[in-house]
C-alpha cells in the first residue's frame, strides 16, 4: 500500500496546515472508523497509526499558531447570509 497522498506536516507552512485542518478536520475524527472498516494489512494500519500520531503531536506542539483563543464576532451580513 502506498502513502503517496501523505506528506509529513513539517514540510507545510503553519497557514497551509491551519487551512487543511479547518477544511478537513473530519479526516482526523473519522480515521479510526475508516481504518476499522478496511481490509488493510496490519503493517499498513500500523504505518497509518504512526503517521497520525506524528501529525497529532505536531498539532499539539503548534496549537497556539494553529488555533485562535477567541472567536471573532460575525458581522450582521454574515449571520443573515448563513441563515439563508
- Give me the count of residues in the chain: 84
Determine the pLDDT at residue 3.
44
Q: Residue 71 pLDDT more than 50?
A: yes
For residue 32, what is its C-alpha cell? 479510526
Q: Residue 7 pLDDT more than 60?
A: no
Domain boundaries, the chain: 9-67
Distances (CA, A) of 11 to 8, 16, 31, 55, 58: 6, 10, 22, 12, 12
For the question of whether the overall pTM of this predicted structure is more than 0.75, the answer is: no
Extended strands (E) in the chain:
none
Confidence of residue 12 (pLDDT cuts 50, 70, 90): low
16-66 per-position pLDDT tens digit: 666 666 666 677 788 888 888 888 888 988 988 888 888 888 888 888 887
Determine the pLDDT at residue 27.
75
What number of H helices and E strands is found in the chain? Answer: 4, 0
Rounded to 10°, the helix 14-36/42-61 angle is: 150
Amino acid at each position: 500500500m502506498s502513502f503517496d497522498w501523505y506528506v509529513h506536516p513539517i514540510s507545510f507552512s503553519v497557514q497551509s496546515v491551519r487551512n487543511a485542518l479547518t477544511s478537513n478536520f473530519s479526516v482526523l475524527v473519522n480515521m479510526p472508523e475508516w481504518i476499522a472498516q478496511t481490509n488493510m494489512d496490519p503493517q499498513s494500519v500500523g504505518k497509518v497509526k504512526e503517521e497520525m500520531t506524528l501529525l497529532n503531536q505536531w498539532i499539539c506542539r503548534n496549537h497556539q499558531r494553529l488555533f485562535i483563543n477567541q472567536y471573532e464576532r460575525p458581522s450582521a451580513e454574515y449571520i443573515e447570509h448563513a441563515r439563508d
